[in-house]
Amino acid sequence: MSDKFNRFKEIIGEVSDLGRAASVLGWDQQVNMPPGGGEARGQQLATLSKIAQEKFTSDEVGRLLEDLKKEYPDSETDEGAMIRVAARNYDKAKRVPPEFVAEQAIAATKAFEAWVEARQKSDFSIFQSALEKNVELVKKYISFFPPADHPYDVLLDDYEPGMKTAEVQEIFGNLRPKQVSLIKAISEARQVKDDFLHKKYNEQKVWAFGEKIISKFGYDFSRGRQDKAPHPFETTFSVNDVRITNRFEPGSPLATLFSAMHESGHAMYEQGINPAYERTPLEGGTSLAVHESQSRMWENLVGRSLPFWEHFFPELKKTFPSQLDGVSIKTFYKGINKVEPSFIRVNADEATYNMHIMLRLELEIGMVDGGIAIKDLPEIWNEKMREYLGITPPNDAQGVLQDIHWSYGSIGYFSTYALGNIVSAQLWERINKDIKNLDEQIRKGQFSELREWLREKVHKYGHKYDPQDLVQKVTGSKIDSAAYVRYLTKKYGDVYGL
């Protein structure tokens, strides 16, 4: 390895360290920090972001990349892939002034605190000005880049490299009528019973049961931990320190189990990345859609399957005998897969979930292109909920304020959730061809072969391949909704007797 490459890795490693340090502060902000610490934390994050930006966009890094592109032209090698990914990131970062990065970090911290208060009080007006500032900065960020086919392309590319707004709209356009048709058929069928899911459950016991499940999945608690936060998330400080957070909702207590499965899916991806990629441009998952495919797979395709509960239900029933008295495995399985339009995205069933995402995509595009005024968001949100799901949120907390992402200025992010659902089904079809007795393994509580398949085919590559290339490499086709439609149709045909 050349001296230039070693120097490049040294600088990139320091940039990574700064980003990871910022992640620690961000984790602490949501898990431990007292409310009064917000302003100072925003400044600390801004300083780290600015230093990282200046270090990464230095002229020295630019010269090294130009020389190393010639030295390592083959992007199939690890070194070539590092240069390719770093060069793309450098080109983007070079366009964004460090002062802007600091300004955005401060605005995001203030907006997060405003969002927390607004959500607690269910009052959008408390959050409105902070969101207006975030959107103003997002538009300013877009202005740093060459004109795209759609301004939203610039934002989407940050989360899903290479994808265009038109591609996502086409994928969603193909999927929407099929999901609407399925939801309609389900609405005309006899509804399943799920009252047992909304009884009073002991929080500590639910929490412990969730940790038992994800330990069996293979989430390594010697390299991770689970804490409480306002919104569940996963964060990575290193391949050996990958943390998740969760929450307990008294009205939907077993949602904690599925959140644990979801976040552990993200975390196992990060724990499975090639350790040699640590502190290089290849660390971390390749995109949010691929990341989400992992979390949704463990939460839904595994965690809401009948074989899974054939293994875990007897123990769950023993843990909560009064709540599940008289409830059969078949009734429980149908109950956790009940389809019913609901207000909260993270608790939405699989058949309606993507409608929540399509709604948010429309709103984000409107905010970015000026078609929607921020002050009108609560009203437009409620209109879209009526149009897409036939329900109207009773208040802002269960409507426009439910998600954390806009408080961080993370606009361009939401479509990756639905894309993740789609990719999870594509991968699942491939997995079932390769692991013939997968259902039987899950029925026995054995997840190691599934986890190792994912580690070998997806996780270990980190950021080496772009998302569409990785999906093509593993499944034989680019992101396509057909497998997801097949999955939903079969599953809900069985649950509802369609």
Q: Is a pLDDT exceeding 90 seen at residue 346?
A: no
Q: Is a pLDDT exceeding 90 seen at residue 14?
A: yes
Residue 228 near residue 31, CB atoms below 8 Å = yes
Is 263 annotated in the active site?
yes
pLDDT in tens, 91-110: 999 999 988 988 998 999 89
Distances (CA, A) of 383 to 363, 376, 399, 479: 11, 11, 11, 30
Q: Is a pLDDT exceeding 90 seen at residue 203?
A: yes
Dihedral pair phi/psi, residue 315, rounded to 5°: -70, -40
Task: Return the pLDDT at 316.
Answer: 98
- Residue boundaries of the structural domains of the chain: 3-147, 165-496
How remote is the C-alpha of 255 from its chain's centroid?
Answer: 17
| Residue 397 amino acid letter | A
Task: Return the pLDDT at 1.
Answer: 78
Q: Which residue has the tokens 């070693």?
A: 6
User: Which are the contacts of 126, defined by CB distance < 8 A and separation ≥ 6?
Assistant: 114, 117, 118
Q: How confident is the model at residue 230 (pLDDT cuts 50, 70, 90)?
A: confident
User: Which are the contacts of 234, defined by CB distance < 8 A and separation ≥ 6?
Assistant: 242, 243, 244, 245, 263, 266, 267, 270, 295
Dihedral pair phi/psi, residue 250, rounded to 5°: -55, -35
Residue 425 near residue 486, CB atoms below 8 Å = yes
Average pLDDT of span 315-341: 97
pLDDT in tens, 22-61: 999 999 999 999 989 988 998 999 899 989 999 999 999 9
Dihedral pair phi/psi, residue 417, rounded to 5°: -65, -50
Q: Which of 263, 270, 283, 299 is catalytic?
A: 263
Q: Is 113 helix (H, G, I), strand (E, B) or coil?
A: helix
Give the C-alpha separation, 256 to 258, whole Å.
Answer: 6
Task: Return the pLDDT at 498.
Answer: 86
Residue 261 near residue 213, CB atoms below 8 Å = yes
Two tokens, residue 385: 């909920």
CB atoms within 10 A of CB 311: 17
Two tokens, residue 220: 């390594």
Mean pLDDT of the chain, nearest integer: 95
Buried b (16+ CB within 10 A) or exposed e, 77-96: ebbbbbbbbbbebbebbbeb
Q: Closest Cα to residue 83, out of 67, 97, 107?
A: 67
Q: Closest Cα to residue 290, out of 179, 178, 162?
A: 162
Would you identify the CATH topology of the domain 165-496? Neurolysin; domain 3 (1.10.1370)
pLDDT in tens, 386-410: 988 989 999 999 999 999 899 989 9
CB burial class (10 A; 0-12, 13-18, 19+) of residue 299?
buried
Give the C-alpha separation, 296 to 281, whole Å.
Answer: 25
Q: Closest Cα to residue 407, out of 242, 230, 279?
A: 230
Q: How confident is the model at residue 122 (pLDDT cuts 50, 70, 90)?
A: very high
Residue 201 near residue 320, CB atoms below 8 Å = yes
Residue 298 near residue 261, CB atoms below 8 Å = yes
